[in-house]
Amino acid sequence: MIILSLHTGYHDGTAALLDGYNLVAAVQLERLTRKKGDGGGIPEAAMDEVLAIAGLSRTDVDVVVLSRASFPARYFKSNALKTAEYAFHKIIGHEKLKDMCTQMQQRGEGEPAKLFREEMFRADFGFKEGV
């Protein structure tokens, strides 16, 4: 089972790849961008690097593990007006980030899956259905 773990915090974005319980590769985003403490959003470069080290692609991933850190706001379920606003921010290249723990607290929801648009996340990053 190929497991991709992502830390999406504002500081030190990281990706790690495991094959079962064996660590295959781990890369901090700052090592690729040369920006100390780089983070804030999905660490795509680190994700692609750990997959390249293993000779795999995003479609080979069986499980994606996400920290409860920051994500682009468009991945949180919201009303139609906010959804349109977040889509606009993506188009102009200035996406807002929201913190998962803060969203859970503000909305009184203990289950992240009820707040997060998993299907959009999978589609945007090319993961197979069921990941």
The torsion defined by the Cα of 104, 62, 130 and 68, in degrees rounded to 10, comes to 10
What are the sequence ranges of the domains in the chain? 2-125
Residue given tokens 């660590």 in the structure block:
23
State the CATH architecture for 2-125. 2-Layer Sandwich (3.30)
- Count the Cβ atoms, other than its own, within 10 Å of residue 30: 18
Whether residue 39 is predicted with pLDDT greater than 80 in this model: the reply is: no
Amino acid 108 reads G
Structure confidence at residue 47 (pLDDT): 95
Per-residue tokens: 83: 């959804």
pTM of the model: 0.81
